[in-house]
Amino acid sequence: MLGRFHLYVSQRGEVSKAQEYTMRILALIAALIAGGVFLLLLGFNPFEIYATMLKGALSTAGMRQETVKLMIPLCLTSLGVTLAFKMRFWNVGAEGQICAGAIAASYFAYFHNHLPQEILLSVMAIAAIIAGGLWGMLPAYFKTRFGTNETLFTLMLNYIIGFFITYLREGPWRDPEGGFAATPRFLKQARLPLVNFPGVGNVHIGCIVMFVVLIWTFFYLKYTKQGYELTVVGENINTARYAGMPVQRIILRTMFLSAGICGLVGMLQVAGPDRQLTDAVANGRGFTAVSIAWLSRLSPIGIAMVSFLFSVMEKGCSMMQTDFRIPASMSEILQGIILFCVLGGEFFINFRIGRIRREA
Amino acid sequence: MDFNHIILFLYAAILAGVPLLYGTLGEIIIEKSGNLNLGVEGMMYLGAIASFLAAYTFESAFLAIIFGFIAGMLGALIYAFLTVSLKANQNVTGLTLTVFGTGVANFIGERLKMTSEAGTVIVSDSVIRSLLPMKLGALSDIPVIGKLVFNHSILTYLSILFAILMSLYLNRSRLGLNLRAIGENPSAADAMGIDVNRYKYLHILFGGGLCGLGGVYIALVTCVGNWQPNIIGGQGWIAVALVIFASWKPLRAVFGSLIFGALSMLRLYIPKNIIDIPASIFNMLPFAVTCLVLVISSIRMKRENQQPAACGVNYFREER
Amino acid sequence: MQKEDRPAMIELNNLSKSFGKVKANENISLKLYPGEILALLGENGSGKTTLMNMLSGIYQPDSGSIVLNGETVKINSPKDAIKLGIGMIHQHFKLVDVFTAEENIKLGSRGKGESLSARSLIESLNLNIDLNKKVYDMSVSEKQTVEILKVLTRRADILVLDEPTAVLTPQEIDTLFNTLREMKKAGKSIIIITHKLEEVLAISDRVAVLHKGRLVDTVNTEEADRFSLTEMMVGRQVDLDIKRAKTVPGDVVLSVEGLTVHGNEGNVELDKISFTLRAGEILGVAGIAGSGQKALCESIAGIQPVTSGSISLLGERIDGLSPRQIIELGISMAFIPEDRLGMGLIGSMNIPDNLLLKTYRDEKGPFLKRSKARKEAEELVEQLSIVTPGLKTPVSKLSGGNVQKVLLGREINLSPKVLITAYPVRGLDIGASMTIYDMLNEQKEKGVAVLFVGEDLDVLLALCDRIMVLSSGKLSAIVESRFATKALLGMKMVGMTTDKEDEYVR
């Protein structure tokens, strides 16, 4: 930018789908190379490491089972936030909505566990969806009514509900028999049944829920009136008004669904792998989901792929810790690098750089 | 509950508030330039690990502070390059910076532990000692006030100094005026010949440096040079909340971080027989209040105490 | 083109600028002399603002050069423009709302030496402004004063004002003009962008007229009059060979009585408009941009609230109904905004999905019924010869003409009773425009009442049965197009009265 040349940025008019995907693939390759260089600097052979990662996540049924368990909440939460993002509503509150669902589900697991398993689990799921949904509608209401900034609001709500879990865990819901301040374990009837998948082994039923929601989201966005409406609102709120759409109602409804799915994740976590209500029920997944949804361009199929990739990375990196003494946080570094590269690559899809000769 | 107890509590509140203040000040100056950076947590992690490494390697508190600041800046540089030059989405970039910074810090920390012979890594005492509270001569001997106000780590004094200087800079200086204009209406600033991108870069970098100092404090003062995984533990996110709570004002941030710090310490200092409110409810309060502040300010539409109007939106001059 | 021997302060040589396929400016050359006021006259979209944005560093010219005091200069940014002494006062003010006047003025300056004191300027130019007032508390004219002060304190020698009078009251305009004259006396050169003839004649020394991105001519104001300027601005009357379908107008379908509409800021956008629209006629709406066309369309469609007056469809009041209800009653609107896609279509969606926008709710059940829309889309593509790689292509990838065909086609498919189209041929070539006119004529023959908001007066004259002229939100005339001339419309648009009024004004 110095000297006689002046870089000049202008918006690109049209880009073909092929160009767009080429650009993204280039960005991914760049990310792999950047990660490789990082590993190289640490004195490792990047090819070996990448291979180990893949092996560590996928080579045995047990590993695949762990990877799938990581993928379930990640994929579902990403699907949830996608509904809101498609409407250009910045829901960074998935974290809190997961907590809300977990609390509601745990309430029934602790206090109404006389019910038979099928009924109890159904009630827990419905309660979780409603609790998560309402928690997410709160910022949506203020947004439509007063224009309150939803990014900051949803962010704040995460902490409030997070501390509420701590309160429950330390106070009213504390297991009187435990030495630590922890909630009791769920009874058998409040735990998700396991399903055997060939090649993977026993995974809790949340896996099926994931596939159902994945397909549901795909159809909802593509083939229903409501999905159509929220897409129009997201693309152009003025056009939505011109077409006579009830914009406020659409925003509230969509946020209920978006947050409801996240709430369901909370139920699946407490009744699945966690078996109790813990502070770490969301564990940053609400934020990772934002990245996944964005990386997948809000496509449900893409979300399935990216959340699988992220789970492989997470599982694979935990493997490297034992094999190579490379800390598992390598997974977060790789995630970061991939996202940075794709974020940067996006620029070259939307803009072009020209040079102008500077005479002065 | 005696008087001494209250003094101890207030003192602890200040200690807990300092890293929050750094993060908050950093984010305020970044948001004032029109960028919402959700990567505070990540930048604090980067600052923490860099200062830890520097303290461990060079055994110098000064270098530790400098390295922490620079590491925060480097994190911010990634963010600035992506959002300002490449116009990437600010929310996603910030979140990614948090993930990345957390990853890098935990990675290096773990790796150090794994490769060290003793299995633990501790910074030498001399570094820690030079960051301990320092007596300011006779001032520190004044009863109560001496203990509360004039008996702190250099980093604490520095944070207050930054808050005051930043307040003066934003409200009294020409550069600060230009900066605020960019956050409110970048095209107006641009039309007046202000180099929007340069301002954004410089202030995002500086803000990142401040966040880095928050990390330094946590690594070397709060944790006394004993590296732990997840050392920042969400304090960066609290700082993002504090920015709203403080209505984007540096001096209010001082009180805000004191209050947030006090609330986080309360459970250790309030005897159960006086007020029996669980600690978690106290912890929740600041965020609930922040929500209220957010809602009320959007209802009242008072223009001054709002987020800078153009915050979160990238600026492109030829946008039509 | 008149000759001048004086050295020019600034010279624009063959400047061109395109946005995509649209040529906003083509080979424009212009000179500005010290101590003069040059008016830049032209209709909406004639390229005035684009030209001035190149002068102030917002846009980069594609070709051509700018010469300042004999030296070729590159203006890469507004900063460069300020350094060169060029100050632009934008139509949409560039002010920081939460700042005071003084803070806005101080923005971007380095120190005391660099800028003049605002207070002494206020005194010498006799301005009425409180420097400590916040911008959000200011009236429009106060904001404008701040804008002027901003550039003057930075020692600008060349001032460009983009439509400075558009938002001012007559009294405020007088004050502004006095200020401009004071500045001219002080040796400043001023360019004022406007489309108001009276103002051109009142304030300027010379006039440069733009038409469709080209410079028509530059004349001395004292040698010009309203008629010659109008003719230059609207272009010579040409026969476009557009047929006007012959129909016998039927019953009154839409009747509007005393319609008044206020904008968001409480400004009057429409002032007591009354007219009727019959089945089987095309009623044209002519007017300078921003005369209330948008408010007219949106209030009929139920999007903008009506302040007073009534709108009736077949005798039933429809003002106050929701946009949805109005669509269901049979009023359809195709509004092509300046960016074309903004309202009415979703760029990222394909043709069938865009067709669904107004009909998707007619089908029962939770699912979208795409099959019907797809069939309609196929028919539409066929009938209107829309050029598209396929039905799955997003409409943003289609050319402008095809986009507009989709939009208009969709509205027509709803078989409305009233069809409102605003700027349906915006940016289209002759061939594509003709298809659109044929579509409108066909609707008219079918007995649809058509309201056609247009820009090109020749088209309005050729196509419409009657034309109503809006001027600053007021209805200034409704004329039978058979008897009207372009000159008459032009004068009505700028709010002038004519001697022969009664002959063709009804």
Asked if residue C227 is part of any domain, the answer here is yes
| Mutant choice from A87, A239, A358 vs C, greatest count of C C-beta within 10 A | A239
Over 70: is that where the pLDDT of C497 sits? Answer: no
- Residues A246-300 pLDDT 10s: 999 999 999 999 999 999 999 999 999 999 999 999 988 999 999 999 988 899 9
Query: Are C117 and C150 in a shared domain?
Result: yes
CB of A13 within 8 Å of a chain C CB? The answer is yes
Q: Do C82 and B188 touch (CB under 8 A)?
A: no
Residue A74: the pLDDT is 96
Q: Which chains touch A (3 or more CB pairs under 8 A)?
A: B, C
Q: What is the number of domains present in chain C?
A: 2
Question: What is the SS3 assignment for A298?
Answer: coil
Task: From chain B, pick out residues whose CB is under 8 angstroms from the CB of C136.
Answer: 303
Q: How far is CA A309 from the centre of its chain?
A: 13
- Residues C50-100 pLDDT 10s: 898 899 888 889 899 999 988 999 998 888 898 899 999 987 888 998 999
**DSSP codes of every residue in A53-89:** HHHHHHSSHHHHHHHHHHHHHHHHHHHHHHHHHHTT-
Residue A218: the pLDDT is 96
Over 90: is that where the pLDDT of B125 sits? Answer: no
Q: How confident is the model at residue A360 (pLDDT cuts 50, 70, 90)?
A: very low
- Residues A193-204 pLDDT 10s: 999 988 888 899
- Residues B229-240 pLDDT 10s: 889 988 998 899
Number of helices (H) and strands (E), helices first, in chain C?
17, 20
CB of C447 within 8 Å of a chain A CB? The answer is no
Distance (Å, rounded) from C-alpha A88 to C-alpha A68? 29
Residue of A nearest to C345 (CA): A239
Over 60: is that where the pLDDT of C136 sits? Answer: yes
Task: From chain A, pick out residues whose CB is under 8 angstroms from the CB of C360.
Answer: 225, 228
Over 70: is that where the pLDDT of C355 sits? Answer: yes
Nearest neighbour of A225 by CB, restricted to C341, C349, C361: C361
Domain ranges, ordered by start, for chain B: 3-300
The alpha-carbon gap from C161 to the nearest alpha carbon of chain B, in Å, equals: 14
Query: Are C225 and C314 in a shared domain?
Result: no
- Residues B282-293 pLDDT 10s: 888 888 888 888
Q: Do A327 and B114 touch (CB under 8 A)?
A: yes
- Residues A151-162 pLDDT 10s: 889 988 998 999
CB of A358 within 8 Å of a chain C CB? The answer is yes
Over 80: is that where the pLDDT of B245 sits? Answer: yes
CB pairs under 8 A between A and C: 77
Which of C172, C199, C234 terminates a domain? The answer is C234
Q: How confident is the model at residue A322 (pLDDT cuts 50, 70, 90)?
A: confident
Residue C343: the pLDDT is 67
Query: Are C267 and C224 in a shared domain?
Result: no
Mean local confidence (pLDDT), C21-42: 88
CB of B114 within 8 Å of a chain A CB? The answer is yes
Q: How confident is the model at residue B64 (pLDDT cuts 50, 70, 90)?
A: very high
Phi-psi region of B201 (alpha: psi -120 to 50; beta: other; left: phi over 0): alpha
Mean pLDDT lowest among A312-316, B109-113, C483-487: C483-487
Q: How confident is the model at residue C278 (pLDDT cuts 50, 70, 90)?
A: very high
Q: Residue written as tokens 């129909």?
A: C247
CB of B319 within 8 Å of a chain C CB? The answer is no
Over 50: is that where the pLDDT of A5 sits? Answer: no
Over 60: is that where the pLDDT of C498 sits? Answer: no
CA quadruple C483, C484, C486, C488: dihedral sign: positive
Query: Are C357 and C455 in a shared domain?
Result: yes
Residue C308: the pLDDT is 92
Cβ–Cβ < 8 Å for C180, C192: yes
Which of C180, C201, C234 terminates a domain? The answer is C234
- Residues C204-252 pLDDT 10s: 999 999 888 889 999 999 998 877 887 787 776 666 677 787 888 889 9
Asked if residue C239 is part of any domain, the answer here is no
Q: Which chains touch C (3 or more CB pairs under 8 A)?
A: A, B
Q: How confident is the model at residue A181 (pLDDT cuts 50, 70, 90)?
A: confident
CB pairs under 8 A between A and B: 159
Distance (Å, rounded) from C-alpha B56 to C-alpha B220? 10
Q: Do A242 and C74 touch (CB under 8 A)?
A: no
The alpha-carbon gap from B272 to the nearest alpha carbon of chain A, in Å, equals: 13
Asked if residue C228 is part of any domain, the answer here is yes
Residue B145: the pLDDT is 78
Residue C236: the pLDDT is 66
Mean local confidence (pLDDT), A230-239: 90
- B3-300: in CATH 1.10.3470: yes
- Give the ipTM: 0.89
CB of A241 within 8 Å of a chain C CB? The answer is yes
- DSSP assignment letter at C75: -
Q: Do B181 and C59 touch (CB under 8 A)?
A: no
Distance (Å, rounded) from C-alpha A43 to C-alpha A30? 20
Distance (Å, rounded) from C-alpha A358 to C-alpha B2? 73
CA dist A244 → A214, A234, C256, C321, C333 (Å): 30, 15, 21, 11, 11
Q: Which residue has the higher pLDDT, C230 or B245?
A: B245
- Residues C389-405 pLDDT 10s: 888 888 877 777 788 88
Asked if residue C241 is part of any domain, the answer here is no
Provide residues of C within 8 Å CB-CB of chain B.
19, 56, 58-59, 77-79, 81-83, 88, 90, 94-99, 103-104, 106-111, 134, 136, 150, 154, 339
Nearest neighbour of C358 by CB, restricted to A8, A241, A243: A243
Residue ranges and CATH numbers for the domains of chain A are 45-325 (1.10.3470)
Mean pLDDT lowest among A1-10, A66-75, C57-66: A1-10
Residue C505: the pLDDT is 45
Asked if residue C243 is part of any domain, the answer here is no
Distance (Å, rounded) from C-alpha A184 to C-alpha C148? 71
Residue A144: the pLDDT is 92
Q: What percent of chain C has pLDDT over 90?
A: 29
Q: Do A290 and B91 touch (CB under 8 A)?
A: yes
Asked if residue C130 is part of any domain, the answer here is yes
Residue A3: the pLDDT is 38
Token pair listed for C196: 């108001």
Look at residues B245, B235, B248, B233 and name the one whose alpha carbon lies nearest to residue B308: B248
| Mutant choice from A2, A16, A225, A357 vs C, greatest count of C C-beta within 10 A | A225
Q: Round the average pLDDT of chain C to a whole number and report it.
A: 84
- The domain in which residue C46 lies consists of 10-234
Nearest neighbour of A340 by CB, restricted to B36, B78, B244: B78
Cβ–Cβ < 8 Å for C309, C273: yes
The alpha-carbon gap from B109 to the nearest alpha carbon of chain A, in Å, equals: 9
Q: How confident is the model at residue B313 (pLDDT cuts 50, 70, 90)?
A: confident
3-state helix, strand, coil in chain B (%, to 5): 70, 0, 25
Over 70: is that where the pLDDT of C111 sits? Answer: no
Look at residues A286, A302, A264, A18 and name the one whose alpha carbon lies nearest to residue A124: A264
Residue A358: the pLDDT is 41
Q: How confident is the model at residue A9 (pLDDT cuts 50, 70, 90)?
A: low
Q: How confident is the model at residue A11 (pLDDT cuts 50, 70, 90)?
A: low
Residue C18: the pLDDT is 83
Task: From chain C, pick out residues whose CB is under 8 angstroms from the CB of A360.
Answer: 73-74
Over 90: is that where the pLDDT of A229 sits? Answer: yes
Q: What percent of chain B has pLDDT over 90?
A: 54
Distance (Å, rounded) from C-alpha C305 to C-alpha A227? 28
Mean local confidence (pLDDT), A10-29: 76
Q: How confident is the model at residue C4 (pLDDT cuts 50, 70, 90)?
A: low
Q: How confident is the model at residue C19 (pLDDT cuts 50, 70, 90)?
A: confident
- CA A106, A110, A114 angle in degrees (round to 5)? 125
Over 80: is that where the pLDDT of B271 sits? Answer: no
| CATH number (domain holding residue C48) | 3.40.50.300
Asked if residue C372 is part of any domain, the answer here is yes
